[in-house]
Structure formats: structure tokens, C-alpha cells
Amino acid sequence: MSAAAFVLAINLFVAAIFATAFGIVAAYARSAIGARWLALAYGLGIVNPILEFLLPGQADPRPVQVAIFAVFLFALSLCVVGLTRHYRLQPPWRTLGVIVVASLVVNVLIVDMPRSSLLRGILYQAPYFILQVVGVAMILRYRHRKALDVALLVLFAASGLQFLSKPALAAWLGSGASARDYIGSTYAAISQSVGAMLLIANGLLMLLIIVRDAMAEITARSETDTLSSLLNRRGFEDRADRLLATALRAGVPASLVVADLDHFKAINDSHGHEAGDRVITAFADVLRTLADPRAVIGRIGGEEFVAFIPGADLASARLYAEGVRTAFSSLSIAGVRPDRPISASFGVARLTAGDSLSDLLRRADAALYEAKKGGRDSVCVAGPAAPSPPLTATLPPGERRRGSRAAQ
């Protein structure tokens, strides 16, 4: 067996392994739609080495030559589609269609040209190069690139240059007097070896990217409250802890706002849980809409919400809480009678040196208790030791706050 034939055998098994791997990811992570296309691409990659092995035994090698070109062309196109789908971008269907059709036509026209022709080699390899360029363009369109994405971009560019260099290499080393002689040539051994390395590297990087993003999505779902689409307690505490530590190290201000919906049990009892769910969703939307982009917002209890705002001093955090309070109380929510006012109470605390997240929550919670005690529908600010009076108090005094940290 020649060196090229040995590498072709390796390529066949590598393509089968990656086709299986992408297929498994696609089956278990339904959101990984790019993996389906990549599984199909590497599935086609299994066919290519088989055709290469069949080529020397053909009386007329031209149909198999065209088939080898077409299969690899389709496989590269599917890789671009899979990558684009994974990045949630629109695949360039028209561009890919033009490239594929034009390339097939040109390949049929050059099939009888001498194999030593440099022009033939350029026309043969150019479509592969162009597809790699399209892949690079798709990665550049993705705005949330990380280290693996940048590495894949570089690898796509290197693959493109490799295809571009092949005609010169074939002219220098010779690719065999005929198609039957190709597999025994030195050029075939080098070309297939480089192709095998790029096949493995591309497959590994794309698999790592898909698995990385699938795991991130699973983590995000586990840390997200399904009703409000805000972070749940675990997700909030994880992110807020990191931001708090950063703020303390940098010596920049940060503040915490806790909120509790007033008379929420009465709304549920009077109007039903569907109306109560709409109230929670509406409040979450107001919190999210008015928040600083850096803020971390969560729903940490039935009607309890919290926002950690890096860079915000007490005045800014208090202004945010008052804005949410005013906007929420002016809403009209389907299923809730107009004579049943909706409102929320807020406690605000500023991060001080040595604070942990629980310290900050405790002070903000104490301020929230004062807001509840002072009449609800109000904002109260906590000092380092004791809370300040409520900013507003438009409702009559009520009972203590319900919840795990204070009573309503």
C-alpha cells in the first residue's frame, strides 16, 4: 500500500468518527442545529476516500474524478452551512449555490485537460479555496467570537491557502501521468497527509465549539427562571459574587436593589395564578428594561427580585428603583381589576469594603422591610448600619414582609 493510500484509509476512519460524534451531539442537544449539517458533511467525507480507492481500477476514470470533486465540494459547502447555522446566522445559500454549480460545470470542462497543466490545477482547487473564504467570512460575521472561534478562523484561512498552493506543488512534484497513477505519487502522499491533519484539526475545533456552546446553553437554562426569564437564585448569586469581587478589587462603587411585590398573595387569591404570573412577568420586564446593561437581575423567590448594579452609587441605584416603582405601578395588566392597584417595595444598599454578597443582601433587605413597614410602594435606602426613611409611602402601613429573609 502506498503512503497516500494509507493516509486515505486513515481519512476514511477519521471522517466516520467525526460524523458519528456530530450525529450524537445533534441527537442529544436538539438546539445544536449546526451539528446535523456537520454530521452530514463528514458523512460525505467517508465517501471521498472510497472513491479515491476505486479510481485506479476504472477503465474510464472521468466519472469517478468528477464524483470525487463533487463529493468534496458538497462536504465543504455543508461545513460552511453547519458553522453558519451554529452561529445562528443565515447561510449564504445563493452564494453557495452559485459556487457549487459553477464549479461543477468548470470541473466537467477541464476533466480532459493534461494533469500537468497549472491552469487545470488552479481551476480544480479554486472552488475549495473560495469555500474556505466564505467560511472565514461567516466566522467574522459572528460578533461573539472567543478563542476557539478565532482559532477556527485561522484554520479555515490556512486550509484555503493550502488549496491555493496545491497546483504549484502538483506542477513541481508531479501528480501522476494519469488519474490511475495519482495515488502512488509523492504529491498524493503530501496532499493527503496535509488534508488529514486539517480534517482532524477542523473537526476537533468545530466539535469543541459546538460542545462549548451546548454546555453554556444548558448552564444558562439551569440558572434561568422560566417565568420571568431572569436569573434564578443560583444564577444571580454566581454572577453577582463575581462582579462584587471585581468591584471590591477595583475600588469602584456598586449597589444592590431588592424588590418585593406588594400584596401579591391577595392578587393570586383574587384573580388567579395566571394573573399573578402576568404581574411577575410585567415586573421582570420593567426591571430589565430600565436596568443598566451591566446589571445582574434575578428572581430569587416567589415575588422577590434583586438587581446588582456595578458602578452605581446609592443615588443612582435609588433613582433606578424609583423609576421601576413608578413605571410598574402605572401598568395595566390583563386579568387584574383596575380597582386593585399593583405596586412593589424596594430596598437599596451600597457596597462597602469587606462586604460579602450576603452582607449586602442583608442591609438591602433591612431597608426593604422599612419600606414595607412604612406603607409599601416605596423605596428605602440602607446606610452602613441603619436604613434611611422611605423615599415615598403612598399606601397605608401594613404587615411585615413575607419571605425567607424578613416577614411581610
**Which amino acids are annotated catalytic?**
303
Q: At what angle do helices 62-86 and 118-141 cross, to 10 degrees?
A: 10
Environment class of 45 (CB within 10 Å of its CB; exposed 0-12, middle 13-18, buried 19+): buried
Q: Return d(Cα 328, Cα 346) in angstroms, integer.
A: 12
Q: Return d(Cα 280, Cα 248) in angstroms, integer.
A: 32
Q: How far are the Cα atoms of 38, 90, 221 from residue 214, in angstroms, in the given order?
A: 15, 19, 11
Query: Could you tell me the sign of the dihedral formed by the alpha carbons of 364, 365, 366, 369, in that order?
Result: positive
Which residues are CB-neighbours of 103 under 8 A, at least 6 positions away? Answer: 69, 73, 126, 127
Question: In the Cβ-directed half-sphere of 381, how many Cα atoms lie within 13 Å?
Answer: 16
Residue 351 has which C-alpha cell? 457596597
Q: At what angle do helices 233-250 and 357-373 cross, to 10 degrees?
A: 110
Contact present, 305 and 230 (Cβ < 8 Å)? yes
Q: Return d(Cα 60, Cα 245) in angstroms, integer.
A: 71
Contact present, 227 and 219 (Cβ < 8 Å)? no
Q: Return d(Cα 5, Cα 196) in angstroms, integer.
A: 12
